[in-house]
Each structure stands twice: as structure tokens, then as C-alpha cells.
């Protein structure tokens, strides 16, 4: 291995993930985006721990605050298709450029991640711990009484 993690499917991380298939699924999802206000279509795709690919696109709303990021619809799709945990994630804009999830969406992805989840970023493949260090999650909540 050449150690270059800036290209999909290369380097020590991500070698068992078909990043090209995830990119294609994200681009396909982006084509379904509803973005009449920002004109900024986004598509996301993720590989689940059991091998499925789930995807989502942004869905805007005239009140702006009710807009759903692509990651939100992806997580909805995850649960609609059997649930599970996310193993790898890829997000693109209308030009096919890699996008980084916003802070809110990083937290959302953290909630539904497999322990070894990786994300494609503009700087290469990174782990969830690298993109959301010291995250707060379900493990920090008290057990129900």
C-alpha cells in the first residue's frame, strides 16, 4: 500500500470499502435533492455494517429552519430499510465535490455509527473520532430508571 488516503480505496484505512460505489450512490441521491431556495443540492450515501448502502438528499423548506440535510434523510432511510449501524460515509454537492457534514450532522452520524466508521473528506479518509473528537453520545446518558 502506498499510504495515500486522499484517494478512495487507497491507503491503510478504507481498503475494504467500495468508495467508488458510495460516491456513485451519493451522486444519485443528490439528483433527488429538493433545493429551490439555496440551489445547493446535496447527496449522501453510507455503507451499513451489514453491507447495505443507504442514501439521502437535502430537502429544503420555505421556513429554512425545517430544512433536512442529506444526512438526516439518510438516517431516516437507514431506519426505514432495517436499521443498523453506519460503517462508511460519502457526501457530495451538485458538482460531485466531496462535502464535510456540518456539526449537527456529524453528531447525527455519530449516534448511528459503527465503532470503526470512516468518512470520505476532502483531505482523504478519516474516522468519526477524527471529525468529531470527544463526542457526546448515548453512552454518556444515565440508564433509564
* Residues belonging to the active site: 71
Give the separation between CA 96 and CA 98, rounded to whole angstroms. Answer: 6
All cell numbers assigned to 31 = 439528483
Given a contact cutoff of 8 angstroms between Cβ atoms, the answer to whether 101 and 91 are in contact is yes
Give the separation between CA 8 and CA 109, rounded to whole angstroms. Answer: 20
CA-nearest of 62, 70, 68 to 46 is: 70
Amino acid at each position: 500500500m502506498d499510504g495515500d488516503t486522499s484517494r478512495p480505496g487507497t491507503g491503510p484505512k478504507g481498503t475494504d470499502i467500495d468508495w467508488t460505489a458510495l460516491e456513485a450512490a451519493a451522486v444519485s441521491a443528490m439528483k433527488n435533492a429538493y433545493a429551490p431556495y439555496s440551489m445547493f443540492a446535496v447527496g449522501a450515501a453510507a455503507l451499513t455494517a451489514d453491507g447495505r448502502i443507504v442514501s439521502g438528499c437535502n430537502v429544503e423548506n420555505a421556513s429554512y429552519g425545517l430544512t433536512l440535510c442529506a444526512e438526516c434523510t439518510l438516517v431516516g432511510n437507514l431506519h426505514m430499510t432495517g436499521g443498523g449501524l453506519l460503517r462508511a460515509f460519502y457526501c457530495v454537492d451538485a458538482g460531485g465535490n466531496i462535502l464535510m457534514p456540518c456539526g449537527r450532522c456529524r453528531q447525527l452520524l455519530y449516534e448511528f455509527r459503527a465503532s470503526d466508521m470512516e468518512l470520505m473528506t476532502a483531505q482523504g479518509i478519516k474516522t468519526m473520532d477524527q471529525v468529531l473528537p470527544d463526542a457526546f453520545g448515548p453512552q454518556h446518558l444515565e440508564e433509564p430508571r
